[in-house]
Amino acid sequence: MKHIIILGDGMADHPIEKLGGKTLLQYANTPYMDMLARQGKTGRLITVPDGFLPGSEVANTAIMGYDLNQVYEGRGPLEAASIGYEMAPEDMAIRCNIITLEDGKILTHNGGNLSTENGDILIKYLNEKLGDDQIRFITGIQYRHLLVIKYASKHVVCAPPHDHPNEEWKPLLVKPEEGWENVHEPVIGRNGQPTGKLRMTAQETADILNYLILKSQELLSEHPFNQKKIAHGERPANSIWPWSGGYRPNMQTLMQLYPQVKSGSCISAVDLIRGIGHYAGLDIIKVPGATGLADTNYEGKAQAAIEALRHQDFVYLHLEATDEAGHDGDLELKVKAIQYLDHRIVEPIYKEVSTWDEPVCIAILPDHPTPVEIRTHVKEAVPFLIWYPGIEADSVESYNEVSCVRGAYGLLQLQEFMNTFMKID
């Protein structure tokens, strides 16, 4: 049996008065997901462990079968993988925003909507001026870049800049995590054993990061790109802001965890999800026109999944559009994105793989709800369905938050989903 997980990011929602008390999944016209729920088995899943916020990187890692307490290293290492930077054991990789400061405050977390092209110019300039054998700035996407420091400690407290708009930046500078100020943590090698080398302390790391922040402000304000911006009365991109750092995740590949998987692919427009896929040992398929928005290339993603399944055993197909519509609070757009997922992804994949000699097991679920009335992720169980040719159906007739409460799988926790799914053979 081959396996495919189709994930609608943030797809689950709450009952909406305007929809007659229905959730969006209940309201939307989703004949294929409903059919698979009717013919298959359903349940609910808790995707976010205690002590974690319901971030997509957290929930998707749990759905893929990993224990967050063992493997979670923050955004930096996932984005490093997505960019194509292969982390060494001694590296500490940290997200490096380019932001806009004004009058001592954080004006925007995105450097005035910096483009990737201009971000690349500024990051290369910073790397030339501040980079060395130990410190490296690497271009990412738009305002979201990467800073890698060898032998740095991840035990530092950083402020995510999008959480602190219009706040003074000086009190938000990097601090050592309590208890780690003077600790030299050992570097762990790829075999899970200490390499005999030690990291710098958290205090030393915080000092370097703060030095780089202050130096970047001097350098960026002098740069012709920003001089021009200021002359035109536009917002300059005038400071780096590092946050969410970590080491290379200690993740076994899915092939090691589930021997029935010989090879697999991850299809997503989102760099964090691609990063998880990379460390899980999956091929990262980049589909042209996959945007992460409602106008994404649905057909292209479905075809890429079908092609991958022809010669591989496992596909993780992630669709971001549902989450984005939830963040925008756009009810109509989210309903549309759910219907597109059903009609333009689930339908073609089901129609193709259900004719194959080698059966394909399909799972569909969100990673967390992003309710349109709340406009951010919430930590609640999500509905899932599992279907394969010949599966014995449960009594659930449609796929949504309410019907799946009665599903035969009941309420699963975290890795139980992947373990249950991969056991189907």
Contact positions vs Zn ion (CB under 5 A): 9-10, 56, 323, 367
Nearer to Zn ion, 1 or 293 (CB): 293
What region does 375 belong to: left with phi over 0, alpha with psi -120 to 50, or beta? Answer: left
CB of 11 to Zn ion, least distance (A): 9
Minimum separation from the CB atom of position 353 to Zn ion (A): 25
3-state secondary structure of 54: coil
Task: Determine how β-strand 382-387 pairs with β-strand 360-365.
Answer: antiparallel
Q: Which is nearer to Zn ion, 156 or 321 (CB)?
A: 321
Cα(42)–Cα(365) distance, integer angstroms: 10
What torsion do the CA atoms of 272, 420, 409, 412 make, to the nearest 10 degrees? -50
Tell me phi and psi for residue 289, to 5 degrees.
80, 5
- Residue with smaller CB distance to Zn ion, 10 or 348: 10
Question: Toward Zn ion, which CB reaches closer, 56 or 205?
Answer: 56
Residue 286 CB partners (closer than 8 Å, separation 6+): none
Distance between first and last Cα of the chain: 5
Residue 299 to residue 214: CA distance in whole angstroms: 47
Distance of closest approach, residue 324 Cβ to Zn ion, in angstroms: 10
- Among residues 38, 80, 33, 30, the alpha carbon closest in space to that of 406 is found at 38
Task: Give the count of alpha carbons within 13 A of 92, CB side only.
Answer: 27
Q: Which of 237, 222, 260 has its CA nearest to residue 144?
A: 237
CB nearer to Zn ion: give 10 or 242. 10
* 40, 346 contact by CB (below 8 A): no
Instruction: Give CA–CA dist 227/157, Å, rounded.
Output: 32
Q: Which is nearer to Zn ion, 10 or 176 (CB)?
A: 10
CB of residue 311 vs Zn ion: minimum separation in angstroms? 29
Long-range contacts of 168-172 (CB under 8 A, 24+ apart): 168/104, 168/105, 169/101, 169/104, 169/105, 169/106, 169/239, 170/104, 172/106
Task: Give the shortest CB-367-to-Zn ion separation in angstroms.
Answer: 4
- Number of Cβ within a 10 Å radius of residue 58: 22
Q: How far is the CB of 42 from Zn ion (least distance, A)?
A: 20
Which residue has the closest beta carbon to Zn ion? Answer: 56
Q: Which is nearer to Zn ion, 62 or 315 (CB)?
A: 62
> Kindly report the CA angle at 67 between 62 and 68, in degrees rounded to 5?
75
Q: Report the nearest approach of Zn ion to the CB of residue 57 (Å).
A: 8
List 285's β-bridge partners, or say none: 267
Distance CA 413, CA 111 (A): 39
- 345, two tokens: 């992804």
Nearer to Zn ion, 73 or 367 (CB): 367
Least separation in angstroms between residue 307's CB and Zn ion is 25
Nearer to Zn ion, 79 or 323 (CB): 323
Extract the tokens encoding 417.
């989903």
To Zn ion, the closest distance from the beta carbon of 312 in angstroms equals: 24
Q: How far is the CB of 59 from Zn ion (least distance, A)?
A: 6
- For the bound state, the minimum distance from the C-beta of residue 47 to Zn ion, rounded and expressed in Å, comes to 9
| Closer of 55 and 249 to Zn ion (Cβ) | 55
Closest among 289, 381, 305 to 14, alpha carbons compared: 381
Decide whether 276 or 353 has the Cβ nearer to Zn ion. Answer: 276
CB-based contact 278:73 (threshold 8 Å): no
Distance of CA 5 to the CA centre of its chain: 15
